[in-house]
Amino acid sequence: MKIPITIISGYLGSGKTTFINEIIHFYKQRKLAIIENEFGEIAIDNDLVIGVDDQIYTLANGCVCCSLNDDLIETIETIHITAPEITHLLIETTGIANPDSIIWRLLSEKRVQDFFETQGLLTIVDAKNAIKASLQDQVVYRQISLANTIIISKTDICTEEENILALAFVKQVNPLAHVIPKNHAFSSAIDVLELKALSTENIASIPFGKLKNETFSFQNLNTSASFMQQQASSHALGLTSVSLEFKEAFDVFRLETYIQILLSSEEVFRIKGILYINNVNKKVIFQSVFDQLVSSIAEAWDSEPSSKIVFIGKNLNKSKLQAELQMCCTLGNPFEDKNFYQMIAQKRL
């Protein structure tokens, strides 16, 4: 049986280490290993984690999303060899880490995939300070938009209005995530270590038809907070979620060509969907991780086949996405199709 991996992300001061300590206390029956990533020459967080004896591994003086990726893989290999009794691996990123490259590296590295299963990204969001932090650092949006599960922390020191505001902010940035107030995170009905968020079954269960197409703005949050009113006029975030449905089957070459170009831009953070592919009589489940696609074949269609796709990103144009993806439903040689060829050539500019 493969060892599950949960990545824990969250901006500076959101409460990641505190949350890990609570995990250790709540899941006493599990044998946990923890990889701590610290941005600095002196490791401190590992001294703040209590209760896992020697199974704490520190990556210091770098950010795991970039310069320490190789060290991360080597550390995971070390855990597999030297601690075979481990039943779950937690990876805590730095507060400034962009988690998408971490996820992709874990999913694409055979040395990891042979013995471990990446279950998903859990992001801690500070109810008191998250929106203010998001105005200063775009990585806050990446951490939230890529998350499969979001824990909202510090709700006990916030006003009711601040908690409502934080929840609305998170829901608009990432309508796909399971959002849990921290005081409910360890209830008997919730297992925060059993995300299985990257599984075919999880993606197939997304209620695509109930997702709204929304553009994030501070005005959308309906708050009277003076701070937010002051910031709304000077920060146009343009964060958007778009849900689309297609009755026609996609041509796999056209679709892959288009999606790869789309992901090469910095405007699309995340894609998830169930695809109806020409000449494939089963559902194709896919999602983007970093700038790469991960897909798998699921069960046969039990109803009229159709494709349902959700995009999260910046300044996404729904009608444009709809029209361009519609071109990917046409069969035949795409490079004999003048309109498709021109669309692809223009997006590459």
What pLDDT, on a 0 to 100 scale, did the predictor assign at position 204? 55
Q: Which CATH class is domain 3-198?
A: alpha beta
d(CA 207, CA 266): 26
Residue-wise pLDDT tens digits, 35-67: 886 543 333 344 434 444 546 666 554 444 544
d(CA 127, CA 125): 6
What pLDDT, on a 0 to 100 scale, did the predictor assign at position 344? 86
What pLDDT, on a 0 to 100 scale, did the predictor assign at position 188? 59
pTM score, two decimals? 0.68
Q: Is the pLDDT of residue 197 over 50?
A: yes
The residue ranges of every structural domain in the chain are: 3-198, 208-348
The pLDDT-based confidence of 198 (bands split at 50, 70, 90) is low
What pLDDT, on a 0 to 100 scale, did the predictor assign at position 192? 79
d(CA 231, CA 76): 42
Of 141, 102, 138, the closest CA to residue 118 belongs to: 102
Residue-wise pLDDT tens digits, 232-267: 333 335 567 788 999 999 999 999 989 988 888 777
**Angstrom distances, CA of residue 134 to CA of 179, 255, 306:** 18, 33, 36
Q: Is the pLDDT of residue 184 over 90?
A: no
Average pLDDT of the residues of the chain: 78
The pLDDT-based confidence of 223 (bands split at 50, 70, 90) is very low
Q: Is the pLDDT of residue 229 over 90?
A: no
Q: Is it true that 3-198 and 208-348 share their CATH fold?
A: no
Contact 331, 278 (CB under 8 A): yes
What pLDDT, on a 0 to 100 scale, did the predictor assign at position 209? 54
Q: Is the pLDDT of residue 93 over 80?
A: yes
The pLDDT-based confidence of 339 (bands split at 50, 70, 90) is confident
Tell me yes or no: is domain 208-348 CATH 3.30.1220.10: yes
What percent of the chain shows pLDDT beyond 70?
A: 75
Q: In the predicted model, what is the mean pLDDT of residues 105-120? A: 87
d(CA 150, CA 9): 9
Of 83-87, 170-174, 219-223, give the lowest mean pLDDT range. 219-223
Of 179, 243, 176, the closest CA to residue 209 belongs to: 243
